[in-house]
């Protein structure tokens, strides 16, 4: 669980949203379920962007490599999974 939180902390969601949607009014998700679905929980939040904290946790866990899978489909909530994966990969590399 700590590693998953650290990986979340290492993603700059604001930059990702800006790159994928070019300031078209998109907002970062608070959690995996959109607010329009019955199972959405307003109390579940993503970890805030904190690459320094993430690095400490990942180093302590000994994580040196991770495989990232990206869908090849287009969805309204993510028009370019490949680009998103590239941005996430770049953030994780930092």
Instruction: Give domain limits for the chain.
Output: 2-93
pLDDT > 70: percent of the chain: 98
Which pLDDT score, from 0 to 100, does residue 75 have?
A: 78
pLDDT > 90: percent of the chain: 37
Cα(81)–Cα(46) distance, integer angstroms: 19
The answer to whether residue 31 scores a pLDDT higher than 80 is: no
Which pLDDT score, from 0 to 100, does residue 11 have?
A: 93
pTM of model > 0.75: yes
Residues 6+ positions from 70 with CB-CB distance below 8 Å: 81, 82, 84, 85
78, β-bridge pairs: 75
CATH superfamily for 2-93 is: Dipeptide-binding Protein; Domain 3 (3.10.105.10)
Which pLDDT score, from 0 to 100, does residue 91 have?
A: 95
């Amino acid at each position: 669980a700590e590693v998953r939180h650290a990986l979340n902390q290492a993603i700059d969601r604001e930059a990702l949203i800006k790159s994928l949607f070019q300031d078209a009014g998109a907002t970062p998700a608070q959690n995996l379920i959109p607010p329009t679905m019955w199972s959405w929980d307003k109390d579940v939040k993503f970890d805030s962007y904190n690459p320094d904290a993430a690095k400490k946790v990942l180093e302590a866990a000994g994580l040196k490599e991770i495989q990232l899978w990206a869908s090849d489909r287009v969805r309204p909530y993510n028009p370019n999974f490949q680009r998103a994966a590239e941005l996430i990969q770049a953030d994780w590399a930092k």
